[in-house]
Amino acid sequence: MRLFGRRDRRKQDASPAERAERLSRWRKGLNRTKASFSGFLQFVATGEAELGEEYYSELHDALILADIGAALAEKTVSWLRTTSSEQGVSSSEVARQLLKQRLTEMLATEEPKPLFADERLNVILFAGVNGTGKTTMLAKIARLLLDENLSVVAAAADTFRAAAVEQLSIWGQRVGFPVITGAQGADPASVVYNTVEHALAQGKHAVLIDTAGRMQTKTALMDELSKIGRAARKVVEKRGEDPDEKLHEVNLLVLDATTGQNAISQAKLFSEAIALHGLVLNKIDGTAKGGVIFPVVATAQVPVMFLGVGEDVDDIVEFDAAEFASALLDND
Ligand SMILES: Nc1nc2c(ncn2[C@@H]2O[C@H](COP(=O)(O)OP(=O)(O)OP(=O)(O)O)[C@@H](O)[C@H]2O)c(=O)[nH]1
Ligand SMILES: [Mg+2]
């Protein structure tokens, strides 16, 4: 993907074994979501299925089961009816291809901001409500960057929860990145300030910021996030440099796919409060129906960058809209 901008050579260079591994990772994560479409796919696979009421009703059920939400399910089915009729499509197989294209387009928003930019200090912020998998995803992304021989330091800016610093430090030891901490209850922005100062002094490539998902009120949480964002810029300004030139800031909203339609209200809340550049959808390996991704993208208007498909550090998939739609709608 566009993960490392022009540095990214992983996909092209992938060996057949690596590609197979990548596909199996997708499958692992998408099994539950795919299961929602199995009735529909079986119906289409019978071959005799003409494009009629039964087809649309099966499709509607599959979309609802996949957690795409009533409104978007309705809209998608009605789009397919109109398009098929306009294009004179009567084969259910052709309609499936049209649908796949449509689902891809729904997820392929504008070209995402690359996660990493050369010759800047990359500041990646993990935001989201509690328990969505922010800290775990931070460790997974640290591993991706380290694998590219990039140096990483993490800011333990979740000073709210007692065990948060320890959890991040354990990840740091396991994966191999340093963690800058503050006292419990310390101002999270000051932890970020110290971390960015350290990163610039040491010539590090990236600062990864772990934030608290829990606060007394939504307003407090959002204020804290914008203060954290300003802290990084302040360090650069103090050095007499321009933050827009020196920093590459990426704010990720981390969502838990198992919370279903709740993820949509979180996408709305956070996208109103801070500048978001990308989404992470975690836990689609569990009971989640990954279809919630469609309304979430429509709400936040930013692309999905990663999927979390398990609790291990390598349970991460770089998101690709076409692959996602194909994983849903193509028979293996
Ligand atoms: N199955 C599964 N579990 C995950 C995934 N990502 C994280 N988890 C688990 O979800 C739980 C919460 O993960 P954390 O990374 O601590 O979440 P957080 O958002 O940092 O939580 P707070 O700091 O409390 O807000 C942990 O038990 C993780 O192992 C995933 O992709 N799949
Ligand atoms: Mg955490």
Contacts of 181 (CB under 8 A, 6+ apart): 156, 165, 169, 191
The CB of 257 under 6 Å from ligand 1? The reply is no
The CB of 308 under 6 Å from ligand 1? The reply is yes
- Whether 311 is in a domain gets the answer no
pTM of the model: 0.91
Ligand 1 centroid – CA 135 distance (Å): 7
| Together in a domain, 98 and 140 | no
The CB of 131 under 6 Å from ligand 1? The reply is yes
Neighbours of 90 (CB within 10 A): 12
DSSP assignment of 223-285 equals HHHHHHHHHHHHHHHHTT--HHHHEEEEEEEEEEGGGTTHHHHHHHHHHHHS---EEEEE-TT
| Together in a domain, 218 and 248 | yes
| Together in a domain, 225 and 181 | yes
Q: Which residue among 136, 138, 315, 317 is best mutated to probe the pocket of ligand 1, counting the most ligand atoms within 8 A of its Cβ?
A: 136
Which ligand number lies closest to the CA of residue 129? 1
| Together in a domain, 156 and 260 | yes
| Together in a domain, 271 and 171 | yes
CATH number of the domain enclosing 166:
3.40.50.300
Atom 13 of ligand 1 has which residue's CA nearest to it? Answer: 133
Ligand 2 centroid – CA 264 distance (Å): 20
Of 96, 18, 76, which is closest to residue 331 (Cα–Cα)?
96
| Together in a domain, 208 and 249 | yes
Quick one: DSSP state of residue 50? B
pLDDT at 154: 98
Ligand 2 centroid – CA 80 distance (Å): 41
CATH number of the domain enclosing 35:
1.20.120.140
| Together in a domain, 265 and 127 | yes
Ligand 1 centroid – CA 152 distance (Å): 21
| Together in a domain, 98 and 152 | no
| Together in a domain, 100 and 147 | no
In this predicted model, what pLDDT tens digit does every residue of 96-147 receive, in sequence order? 899 999 999 999 877 778 999 999 999 999 999 989 999 999 999 999 999 9
| Together in a domain, 125 and 272 | yes
- Whether 284 is in a domain gets the answer no
pLDDT at 210: 96
Quick one: DSSP state of residue 99? H
pLDDT at 236: 97
The CB of 309 under 6 Å from ligand 1? The reply is yes
The domain boundary residue, chosen from 256, 276, 296: 276
Which ligand number lies closest to the CA of residue 131? 1
Ligand 2 centroid – CA 148 distance (Å): 24
pLDDT at 3: 57
Are residues 213 and 128 in contact, defined by beta-carbon separation less than 8 angstroms?
A: yes
Which of ligand 1's atoms lies nearest the C-alpha of 307? 31
Which of ligand 1's atoms lies nearest the C-alpha of 315? 31
Question: What is the C-alpha to C-alpha distance for residues 132 and 232, in angstroms, rounded to an integer?
Answer: 24
The CB of 132 under 6 Å from ligand 1? The reply is yes
Are residues 142 and 209 in contact, defined by beta-carbon separation less than 8 angstroms?
A: no
**How many folded domains does the chain comprise?**
2
Residues of the chain with pLDDT under 70: 1-14, 19, 22-23, 25-29, 46-49, 215-216, 332
Give the domain extent around 84: 30-107
